[in-house]
Structure 1
Amino acid sequence: MERVDLAKLLVGQRMEPRYLEYNWRDIALYALTAGAKAEDLMYTYEKDMKALPSYGTIPYWGTINVRPYQWMPLPASMLANEIIKPTISFLNMDHELIMYRPIDPIKGTFQYQDRITDVYDRGEGKGAVVKTQLDVREEAGNLVCVNRSTTFFHEAEGFGGPPMPKSDVVIPDRAPDYEEEDYISPVQHLL
């Protein structure tokens, strides 16, 4: 197969605009599936309800209540998947959620469109990395949150694109700032 410059081909490509409608029941069900307990009524009872901030990832991964309908999550990295046609499944490396305002816990419609922001060539035999960004807006157009994701493709290396930047994350050699014991509810899988 002829190698194409994936960065030139993919950076700036967008998925079609999508919409996700939700109400307080969706927010409560999400909280329960995320592990809300009896003492977490603020996430499950509609009086003075709050939405878990991580509900902002639902537009990226969700398929229920999405217009136009999609039978599986279709992030922009799928555009790369269509071109590369890998024989080995791609790998989601990370997902970052940046919140700008609280999510309305009673009802709303998210408007969003996923786009490819960067494509990196890790070198021959080391794969390629595709970075995407999905801006989630409320009905009035105000930015609620941003989802950034990095996807690794094993079989797309050596196309001559920009190299992957070095990480500037430093993990300190000390005890964590905070730890909490938690458990998975015996019925959580049913949710």
Structure 2
Amino acid sequence: MNEWIGRHLGERTVSYDERDVILYALAVGATTADLDLVFEERLRVLPTFALTQAQWAPDVLGSLGAFDIRTAVHGSQRLRSLKPLPPTGELTMAARVTQVWDKGSAAIFEVEVVSDYFVATWSLFAPGCGGFGGDRGPSAPRHPETAPTRELSVATSPNQAALYRLLGDRHHMHIDPEAAKAAGMPRPFLHGLCTVAAVTLPLAEAAGAHPADLAELEGRFASPVFPGDRLDVRCWESGEAVLFDAAVDGTTVLSGGRAHFRVTT
């Protein structure tokens, strides 16, 4: 598996417009109250929108045969925003495999996508690919032992996965009950990137920031979220960042979360 480290996955230029940006904001929970996220006359772009434009990169790695695409899952995500995305334009991106961690029974592939606007890293958990004698990699981050400084509730919509998949991730397991069952799920489930992006909206409000001012984000996908679920989010202040996790009916669905917003005064 070490031969994959450093593998160049190609470059790609994609274009988007205001309609894509607004559809994305609605898909992750924005409403008409968030006028500058859904109205083209004063539009700001959520930094997590970039992840929908860069999804091609981990898909390329799977198509090259690095792992079984039927069993590999999205383990975690990191995003660093370098500058605001324009409401319309083009993104030129380059992707490569930065690391492969050996977890014994599985491997974790890290895919990094770089552009002038962001750096995004997918961690892909691939069962059956471990045991090659590589480094195990860092341990999963834990939330503080102290009581959370704030608790939030985030509602998801029954139609949210159907809406979010129009942004590019059209894997059938998010819409087709039979495909979800084949993937070991009782019914179609929400995209992990939709879940973590939805959480950033109330996190920004709690931090006194605008969600478009997100500078850094990371989180691990611990369990599936189903459209219509309500997330109970716990937050801890940590310097300029907010640490968080999220649960549904007591089951952790997001862990090791960290968000940092550029707060302007």
Common topology (TM > 0.5): yes
Which residue number in structure 2 is paired with residue 45 of structure 1?
A: 39
Structure 2: runs of 5+ lacking an equivalent = 164-265
Change (3 A) 1:87 1:42: closer
1:94 partner letter: S
Which residue number in structure 1 is paired with residue 83 of structure 2?
A: 101
The answer to whether the Cα contact below 8 Å between 1:14 and 1:115 also exists between their aligned partners in 2 is: yes
Which residue number in structure 2 is paired with residue 149 of structure 1?
A: 122
Change (3 A) 1:47 1:87: closer
Structure 1: runs of 5+ lacking an equivalent = 1-5, 62-72, 137-142
- Answer with 174-183 or 41-50: which moved more: 174-183
Which 4+ residue blocks in structure 1 deviate beyond 4 angstroms?
A: 185-190
CA-atom RMSD in angstroms: 2.3
1:114 paired with 2:91, answer no
Change (3 A) 1:53 1:74: closer
Tell me the distance in 1 between the aligned counterparts of 2:43 and 2:69: 46
- Match of 2:23, SS state, is helix
TM-score of the two chains, using structure 1 as the length reference: 0.75
Q: CA deviation at 1:152?
A: 1.4
Give the number of the structure whose alpha-carbon radius of gyration is greater: 1
Aligned-residue sequence identity (percent) comes to 26
Tell me the distance in 2 between the aligned counterparts of 1:128 and 1:183: 33
Which residue number in structure 1 is paired with residue 251 of structure 2?
A: none
Tell me the distance in 1 between the aligned counterparts of 2:11 and 2:69: 29
RCO higher in 1 or 2 (8 Å CA, sep ≥ 6)?
Answer: 1
Change (3 A) 1:92 1:188: closer
Tell me the distance in 2 between the aligned counterparts of 1:146 and 1:91: 21
Higher helix share: 2
Q: CA deviation at 1:21?
A: 0.3
Higher strand share: 2
Tell me the distance in 2 between the aligned counterparts of 1:100 and 1:189: 28
The answer to whether the Cα contact below 8 Å between 1:88 and 1:154 also exists between their aligned partners in 2 is: no
